[in-house]
Structure 1
Amino acid sequence: MTSQFVIAMLNPTIGMLFASAFFLLWTNQRGQNYILMIALSYVASSVGFLIQDVGPSFANKFERIPANVCFLVTGYLLIGGALKRYGLRIPHVLMAGIVAAGAAWQVWFVLVQPDLTARVFMVNFLLGCISLIGAVKLHPVEKRHSVDRLLFWVMVLCTLNFFLRPASIMLLAGGFTDFGSFQQSFYWTTVQFTQVMISVLFALTLMVAIALDLIAELRREANTDKLSGVLNRRGFERDAVAALGACGERRQSACLMIADLDHFKAINDAHGHAVGDRAISLFGQHLAASLQPGMIAGRIGGEEFAVLVPEAEFGAARRFAEALRADFPQKCAGRLPPSLSPSVSIGLCLAGPGVELYDLMHKADEALYHAKRLGRDQVQVFTPRESGTAATKQALAGS
């Protein structure tokens, strides 16, 4: 086994190892198709290097056409997968057009007007364009983690590599007269090793990004109430405490509302727990769809929900609560038994800077029970004179 063969097998071997790793990640996250795109990109890269360096030679070096098309497809899938990970639209038409143009130019420079140097510049230029598209689209995206910033700079590095490497090396070493001299050139040796480094850097960065996504998803599941779709009590308290702390630092107020489905025990008794669960689910969906940016909502008890509105103007929070209450029956129309007319009572409390969450929840709870005492299906605002007793709350339990 010659050293040249070992070098030739370096990129295909590494590519297939990473392709296998990404396929395994995808089988455990079937909903994340961007991982499949990345896996396929490494397959395409391996196939391209195998065709070019290991496979049999054909007349006029015809094998160079599919090999270089594989490299262009690699860029398409890899950059496209990275963009999809951030929820960005993949410019399929533009990138497919680049691949098609590359294929056409390959045919021209291989079969019509053979020119190895022009073909090298053309392939690198098009790969640089694909990387540049990714970098431009990723630049304005919020980069929450270091790996997000690293991925952006890896794309920038790839762009510079494809644009500058051919010109700088060929200026020093000259062009190529035939494919034999190309295979033995300093340029191709540089390509072999720099491509390995870029492939490894891209793969490791994306793997860390996928791992962070998985951890975030597990955290969301741990802090989300499955029935209602909003945060559970633990998740709500965690996010609400952080938001109140931020409001305190900025000396801004916040509003907290606690909503409770009316006559919930009677719903369970008359219609069964499945209908009760359905009512909770419908209110959770209604609440989640009504939330405005910055609001934090969670299910904090059986049929009880809380919503924190940071940096709130009280009138706007009151209008939000009224709309939430008034629109709920309409959202349930046709989705609950006809004899059931669901309603919700809401207690609202304004918090100044520095107020603790549990104190705020207690005051909003007092306002909620005041709404219950006044007949339910209404919004009441906490005032200091309200002081619902334990006996009153017990009497209204399940209401």
Structure 2
Amino acid sequence: MSAAAFVLAINLLVAAIFATSFGVVAAYQRSALGARWLAFAYGLGVCNIALEFILPYQADHRPVSFAIFTVFLLALAGCVVGMAHHYRIAPPWRLLALAIAASLTLNLLILELPRGDLPRNLLYQAPYAAMQAIGVLVALKNPRKRALDLALLGLWALSGLHFLGKPFLAAWIGSGAAPQDYIGTTYAAFSQSVGAVLVVAIGLLMLLIILRDVMAEMTDRSETDALSSLLNRRGFESRGNEALCLIERSGVPGAMIVADLDYFKQINDGYGHAAGDGVIAAFARCLRDNCDQRAVVGRLGGEEFAAFIPGANLAAGKLYAEAVRSTFRDQPAHPAGPALPVTASFGVAQSRPGETLSELLRRADAALYEAKTKGRDRVCLAFSGTVHPLPAPEPGAVVKLS
């Protein structure tokens, strides 16, 4: 067995491993459409390498040579589509179709040209490089480029340059007098070795990126309350602790707001659970719409909610709570819900140095209890263990969180 044949055998095994790996991910996570396309692409890679082994035994190389080119081109296109689907970007179908059609036509035109001809080899490899360039364009459209994504983008670009460099290497050391001789040449051994490194590196990166994002999606689902679309208690405590640690290091305060819907049991009993669910969803929207991206907002359970705003003091927490309170009270009643306005009560506390999230929640909850006992539909603040109710804002006043 020649050195190139040995490397090809390794490449076949590697492609099969990646095809299986992406297939397992796609089967386990049915929403991972990108993994399905990548499994398909690496499956085509296995077929491509099998054709390379068949080529030396063909009297007329043209059908198998054209099949090798076509299968590998489609495998690269499959990788582009898989990456686009994973990044939730519309695949460039028209551009891919145009590139594939032009590439196949070009390959048919140069099929009979001498193998040692440099222009011929450049025209042969150019479609592969063009497909890699399309992959780079798709990767650049990804709005959230992290370290792994940037590394993948760089590897796609490097792989494209590698295809453009192969014709010059073939002209220098020779790629065989006929296509059937390719597998026994030094050029084939070198080309397949470099290709193996790139295939493994790109495959590993794409697999790691998909696994990273699938696990993040699973974590988000486990930490999200289905009814309100806010964080559940587990998610709120996890994100809240992270935010609290961040402000501790930065030396800035944070405001904790705890809210509870007033007379919620009466809504459920009088109008049904569907109406109660609508009230919870409406209140969640008010909480979400009146805060910025820094805030950690969650439904702690039942009709109890909480929001932690890093970098906000007690006054800013009060403004946020009043904005939510007035917005929620003034919104139109749902047709299937209670005819009278639905209200909520709030407790606000500012974080202290060294205070844990549970301690901060406890102080805000004490302020909420005070708001409940003083008549509901109001905001109370926690000042060094003492809570104080706040008067309702003037009619028509607009309160915004800066």
Task: Please say whether Structure 1 and Structure 2 have the same fold, judged by a TM-score greater than 0.5.
Answer: yes
User: Could you give the per-residue CA deviations for residues 309-356 of structure 1, whole angstroms, max 9, x where no partner exists?
Assistant: 112376665454344334446778546435464332223333466554
Structure 1 range deviating more: 241-250 or 147-156:
147-156
Inter-CA distance 237–175: structure 2 relative to 1 (3 Å threshold):
closer
Change (3 A) 1:283 1:6: same
Q: In the alignment, does 2:79 pair up with 1:85?
A: no
Cα RMSD of the aligned pairs, angstroms, is 3.7
Q: Is the 8 A contact 2:347 2:379 kept in 1?
A: yes
Give the deviation of 1:108 after TM superposition.
1.8
Segment drifting more, 76-85 vs 36-45: 76-85
2:206 aligned with 1:201: no
Q: Aligned partners of 1:322, 1:274: CA distance in 2, in Å?
A: 27
- Structure 1 residue 266 and structure 2 residue 266: aligned? yes
In the alignment, which residue of structure 1 is the partner of 2:31? 31
Cα distance between partner residues in 2 of 1:332 and 1:107: 68
C-alpha distance in 2, partners of 1:109/1:180?
17
Stretch deviating more after TM superposition (294-303 or 203-212) = 203-212
Aligned-partner Cα distance in 1 for 2:21–2:381: 56
User: Once the 2 structures are TM-superposed, how far is the Cα of residue 22 of structure 1 from its aligned partner?
Assistant: 1.7
Shift of 1:130: 3.2
The runs of 5 or more residues in structure 2 that have no matched partner are 389-402
Say yes or no: does 1:360 pair with 2:357: no
Q: Secondary structure at the match of 2:111?
A: helix
Specify whether residues 105 and 229 from structure 1 end up closer, same or farther in structure 2 by C-alpha distance, changes over 3 A only: same
CA distance in 2, matches of 1:271, 1:166: 76
Q: Distance in 1 between matches of 2:59 and 2:13?
A: 23
Shift in Å, 1:31: 0.8
Give 2:173's aligned residue: 173
Give the conservation status (yes or no) of the 8 Å contact 1:344–1:376: yes
Distance change (3 Å), C-alpha of 1:384 and 1:157: same
Residue in 2 that maps onto 1:98: 99
**Structure 1 residues 129 and 327: alpha-carbon distance in aligned structure 2, compared to 1, 3 A threshold:** farther
Residue identity matched to 1:108: L
In the alignment of these two chains, the number of paired residues is 385
1:15 aligns with 2:15: yes
Show the counterpart of 1:294: 294
Are the equivalent residues in 1 in contact too, given 2:175–2:188 (CA < 8 A)? no
TM-score (norm 1): 0.79
Tell me the CA shift for residue 150 of structure 1: 4.7
**DSSP-derived class of the 1:362 partner:** helix
Q: Secondary structure at the match of 1:346?
A: strand
Q: Match of 2:301, SS? A: coil
Distance 1:41 1:54 in 2: 20
Unaligned runs of 5+ in 1: 389-399
Counterpart position of 1:125: 126
TM-superposed deviation, 1:279:
3.2
- 8 A Cα contact 1:65 1:106, kept in partner: yes
Deviation at 1:304, TM superposition (A): 0.8
- Aligned residue for 1:292, secondary structure, equals coil
CA distance in 2, matches of 1:263, 1:28: 44
Give the 3 Å change call, closer, same or farther, for CA 213–305 of structure 1 in structure 2: same
Letter in 2 for 1:297: V
Asked if 1:344 is matched to 2:344, the reply is: yes
Give the Cα separation in 1 of the matches to 2:318 and 2:96. 49
Match of 2:357, as an amino acid?
L
CA distance in 1, matches of 2:124, 2:135: 17
What is the DSSP-based 3-state SS (H/G/I as helix, E as strand, rest coil) of the residue aligned with 1:309? strand
Distance 1:6 1:122 in 2: 27
Going from structure 1 to structure 2, the CA distance change for 1:17 and 1:315 (only over 3 Å counts) comes to same
Q: 2:65 matched to which residue of 1?
A: 64
Task: Please list the CA deviations of residues 223-264 of structure 1 after superposition, one character each: whole Å capped at 9, or x if unmatched.
Answer: 333343322223212221221221122222222211211111
- Quote the offset at 1:272 in angstroms: 4.2
Query: d(CA) in 1 for partners of 2:109 and 2:315?
Result: 69
Query: What pairs up with 1:142-291 in 2 under 5 angstroms?
Result: 147-148=148-149, 150-167=151-168, 169-174=169-174, 177-273=177-273, 275-288=275-288, 291=291
Q: Return closer, same or farther for 1:63/1:291 CA change in 2, 3 Å cut-off.
A: farther
Following TM superposition, by how much is the alpha carbon of 1:38 offset from its aligned partner in structure 2, in angstroms?
A: 0.6
The C-alpha deviation readout for 1:368-397, integer Å capped at 9, x for no partner, is 334334543344444458449xxxxxxxxx
Give, in whole Å, the separation in 1 of the partners of 2:114 and 2:292: 61
Partner of 1:43: 43
TM-score (norm 2): 0.79
Secondary structure of the 1:255 match is strand
Distance 1:384 1:143 in 2: 44
Work out the CA distance in 1 between the residues paired with 2:335 and 2:32: 32
Preserved CA contact (<8 Å) 2:256 2:307: yes
Q: Could you tell me how far apart the structure 2 residues matched to 1:235 and 1:103 are?
A: 52
Could you say if the C-alpha distance between residues 329 and 164 of structure 1 is closer, same or farther in structure 2, counting changes exceeding 3 Å? farther
User: How far apart are the structure 2 equivalents of 1:327 and 1:158?
Assistant: 55
What is residue 395 of structure 2 aligned with on the other side? none
The aligned residue for residue 372 of structure 2 is: 372
Counterparts of 1:311-322 in structure 2, within 5 Å, are 311-312=311-312, 317-322=317-322
User: Quick check: 2:276–2:337 contact (8 Å CA) kept in 1?
Assistant: no
Contact preservation (8 Å) 1:279, 1:336: no
Letter of the 1:206 partner, please give it.
M
Task: Tell me the CA shift for residue 176 of structure 1.
Answer: 5.4
Q: Is the 8 A contact 1:245 1:354 kept in 2?
A: no
Distance 1:251 1:10, change over 3 A: closer
